[in-house]
Every structure is written in C-alpha cells, then in structure tokens.
Structure 1
Amino acid sequence: MKFSNEEMLQAMEATGMIPVFNHVDIAVAKGVLDASYKAGIRVFEFTNRTANSLEVFKELYDYAAKYPDLVMGIGTIFTTEQAESFIEAGADFIVSPALIRELAVYCNSKDVFWIPGCATMSEIFQAKKLGASLVKAFPGNVVGSAFVAAAKSVYPELHIMPTGGVEPTEENLKEWFDAGVYCVGMGSQLFKKDWIKNQQYELLENKIADTLKIIQSCKS
C-alpha cells in the first residue's frame, strides 16, 4: 500500500477537510485536483457516481502520482465488486454512504482503509466492532452536530467525519469542530457549479485555501 492507515488518518486530521468530487470529464477532474493540492489538500475523495467513474479515477490516480504525498480515495462504494475494481485502480481508501458488513470484511481482508457511513449509535457500534477507525456521519445536514457531540460523549476516542451539507463558513465549521469532529468532507458546497463549468480553478483554489485556514482556526 502507498500509505499506512495511520499516515492517512494523520493527513486527514492535519488538513481537517477532504474534498468530495466527481466529474465525467478527466480534464476537469485534473483541474480540480490541481487546485485542491495547491490550496493545501492532501487527502482527496473521488466519488463513484457516474457510469465512467472507474475510467476517470484510473487516469486521475495516475495523474496524481506527481503529488507523492497526496492520498487518493474513492467514495460512494456499496459492493465488494466496486471496491475490488477501485482498489485495483489504486484507491488508497474506500468510503461508503452506509455501513455494509461484507464491504467492511472485504476491505479488512485486503488491509484497505475503509470509512463507513453511520447515522445512528447502533451503526457506530457495529462499525467499531468491524474495526472502523473513522466513521462518516452521513448525511451530515440530517444527523447534525448534536449527534456528533452525543456520539463522542459515549465514544470519546471515536474519529468522526461529517459529509453532506457541511458549509465552508466559519459559523458552520466552528459548530462541527466544537462538536468534536476529526475532519469534514465537503462537496457541492465547495465546488461551485459555475466555477467548474467555466474552469475557474484559481477561484476554487482560493476558496479551498480560505476554508482550510478557517478549519485551522476552529481547531486551535
């Protein structure tokens, strides 16, 4: 494996944010990846949401080799077959919107870092039993920061990453980090459609850099 689980966790905590992105056009995906890295991102999650996601990911992963310290994962994984295909393509970690036992067992058998989606304490309990070291609170805007705080009161050592509805504002990010999140996943709130459509990657880079500064301020 390119990175150990501990190295990936450290990278996630250090920046405090994982961009979550998908696009059918590899040129656009490369532009977004470059802007993200230049802004300070060191963990990037591409998502399996279009028919050609595997094809795009393969090329994007090869392209990302020029950034040796960049961790590249794949999200929106539901089956072991999907996981196998993306792991063969180089994925450093697997993210699922749900807690899926067979997916956890498969990733564990391959020694691949996996992040399950959890929305209840029962799911968090099962995720921990299956060996999860980081869980994704999903959808973040539904479960809310109060859920994170409550989960941390029971499992203080638990690492939680909310995704879905996390906003790149000081008010919203402070709410999440005050609740005890390990890092946050951020997609549509960060990647403005007009910026992507018009390939305004410098605007995106500045926005990500500003968001990372807010996160560091919230953490300190």
Structure 2
Amino acid sequence: MSATDVLGGHRIVPVVVLDDPARADALGAALVEGGLPVAEATFRTPGAAAVLRRLAENADLVVGAGTVLTDRQVDEALEAGARFVVSPGLSAAVVRRCQDAGVPVVPGVATPTEVMQALDLGLDTVKFFPAEANGGLPTIKALAAAFPQVRFMPTGGITAESAPAYLAHPAVAAVGGSWMVAGDLLAAGRWDEVAARCAASTRLYHPTLEGAPA
C-alpha cells in the first residue's frame, strides 16, 4: 500500500508539532470534526512518540510519523502506531526499515540526484522539502518533466493561499502544512479554530463542497 492509499484521498496532511500527549485527544477530535482526519506527528519534541500513540488510538484518524531520521526512530514510530513514515531527507536505512515492515515511507528530496536515489530504492512518491525554500512549484514542474513517474508531496512554507496552486499540478499527490495546526492554536487549545481551518483546507481540493470559494 502506498502513502497516497493510506491517506484515503485526503490531499493535505496536517504537520503536527506537539509535546503534550494530554492535548492529543482534543487535537484528534478537531481534525476529525474538520473533515481532515490525517496527522503527521513530527519527531521534533521529546514527547512526540507519546503524542503519536495517543493520536493513533483514535480509530477515525490516519496517523503517521514525521521528521524520522533513523531506523531506530522508525521502530519507535511503528511501535506507537504510525501508519506511514515521512522523513526530511533521503536515508536508505530509514526507507529499507519501512519497506521491511511493509509501511509506506515518503523521504524528502530536493534535487534530481535524490529523486534518482529514491527511484533506485523502489519509491515513486517523495516529499519535496523544504518546498518554498527550494523554488516551490516551478522546481516541482521541472522535476516532474524529468521524472514523470514520480509524485511529490511538497512540504515547508506552504500556506492556505499557496496550496491550491500546488494541488492543481498533476505531479502533486498531496501537500503538507501546519496552518491548520499552528503552534499558537495548539498551545491555546483553540480546537474550534483547528476544526474550522481543517474544513476550509478540504475545500482547497474539493471545490464542490458547500461553502467552497467560487
């Protein structure tokens, strides 16, 4: 099963940085309420694995692990319930550990050489990161022309305003973003606003939904 299969048609992945497992239940409920029941819990904080575990207990959520740097972190993420793994760069050790476990992995790339290395590892979906700092959509268009068999999941600096242009390109499988799970919202427990931003985000790729922009 590929990463896009696991995402179940959702084309925006909320990138969560949270260190308090006690807030995970409310966050998960807000994502589900907003119609975007997906979370990439990043391994950037000491409590990341505990947060991932709590999120994964919500049967309505598809939860993955982000910022996975080592094969040991892969094991930790899978033990906590991750259903997919995302890495900021391309590590053969991380990719192979995920492949051995039968879990989709989306490694980060920024250059043609890294795309070719991903292909050598048997992958056809990669994370383009950091997206905006590496030229954004024009760079993806150039890479897609050279590698038409590859699909990209750009992340890094993407906003609600810039996401539609990315999503409109056929080489883009999904985008990662944090605008709907911004740190200040999580810190303040503004779960209604998280849900509202998630709902607005789904309309970026389902324009026929009620309330979508004309």
TM-score, normalization: structure 2? 0.89
Q: CA deviation at 1:216?
A: 2.4
Amino acid at match of 2:10: T
Cα deviations across residues 57-87 of structure 1 (Å, max 9, x unaligned)?
223322x13x2xx321101111111111111
Identity of aligned residues (%): 29
Q: CA deviation at 1:13?
A: 6.6
Corresponding residue number in structure 1 for 2:44: 49
Corresponding residue number in structure 1 for 2:28: 33
Change (3 A) 1:83 1:118: same
1:60 to 52, 55, 58: 55
Tell me, in whole angstroms, the C-alpha distance in 1 between the residues paired with 2:140 and 2:56: 32
Amino acid at match of 2:138: A
Q: Is 2:167 the counterpart of 1:177? A: yes
Amino acid at match of 1:32: L
TM-score, normalization: structure 1? 0.86
Q: Is 2:143 the counterpart of 1:151? A: yes
1:101 to 70, 92, 99: 92
Q: CA deviation at 1:217?
A: 3.0
Corresponding residue number in structure 2 for 1:216: 206
Structure 1 runs of 4+ with >3 Å offset: 10-13
3-state SS, counterpart of residue 91 of structure 1 = coil
CA contact (8 A) 2:153 2:174 kept: yes
Unmatched 5+ stretches in structure 1:
none
CA contact (8 A) 2:6 2:84 kept: no
Amino acid at match of 1:202: D
Amino acid at match of 1:148: I
Change (3 A) 1:13 1:59: closer
Amino acid at match of 1:173: A
Amino acid at match of 1:153: A
CA contact (8 A) 2:43 2:67 kept: yes
Unmatched 5+ stretches in structure 2:
209-214
Aligned residues: 206
Change (3 A) 1:201 1:216: same
1:122 to 113, 127, 138: 113
Q: CA RMSD in A?
A: 1.8
- Structure with bigger helix share is 1
Q: CA deviation at 1:107?
A: 1.4
Tell me, in whole angstroms, the C-alpha distance in 2 between the residues paired with 1:191 and 1:58: 18
Amino acid at match of 2:107: P
Tell me, in whole angstroms, the C-alpha distance in 2 between the residues paired with 1:26 and 1:112: 24
Tell me, in whole angstroms, the C-alpha distance in 1 between the residues paired with 2:182 and 2:93: 35
CA contact (8 A) 1:11 1:43 kept: no
Cα deviations across residues 162-188 of structure 1 (Å, max 9, x unaligned)?
11111012xx1232123431110012x
Q: CA deviation at 1:149?
A: 0.7
